[in-house]
Amino acid sequence: MKWIALLVPLSLAAGCFADETLRGYSAADKTWMLTEARDFAANPEITLTFPETGRIAGQAPCNSYFATMDVPYPWFETGPIAATKRACPDLRTEAAFFNALEAATLSEVLGSTLILSDDDGMLMVFRSGG
């Protein structure tokens, strides 16, 4: 009986440390490649990763980027996006991608598909290689 009294609080405490973000729901350890976008031309060279709890990172058309993201799944909300400052012909697409990331409020993982949406519907669809 003493063991049960000890195990119940420990098991509840273990749940407090689980990663409740999108990373904890099958998004970790994958590179997500953009395959569809509502407001700009999709490019599979645009990527999104979840390298550690509370962070996103990836490659935009011109620059590498990263941001914080620590809301629980299925919500999606980034902190300010920081990026390198390389110039290239696709800066308009990059700005549209960053705007879509910042506008996203909801995420859904369906196997190898990640969908980011806002109140108006699907913003972007990503697919992972594995």
Domains for the chain: give ranges and CATH numbers.
19-128 (2.40.128.270)
User: Which of 13-17, 49-53, 58-62, 71-75 ranks highest by mean pLDDT?
Assistant: 58-62
Whole-number Å distance between alpha carbons of 63 and 83: 6
pLDDT, tens only, 57-96: 999 999 999 999 989 999 999 999 999 999 999 999 999 9
Here the tokens at position 56 are 């996103």
Give the alpha-carbon dihedral of 45, 128, 48, 35, to 10 degrees. Answer: 50
pTM of this prediction? 0.82
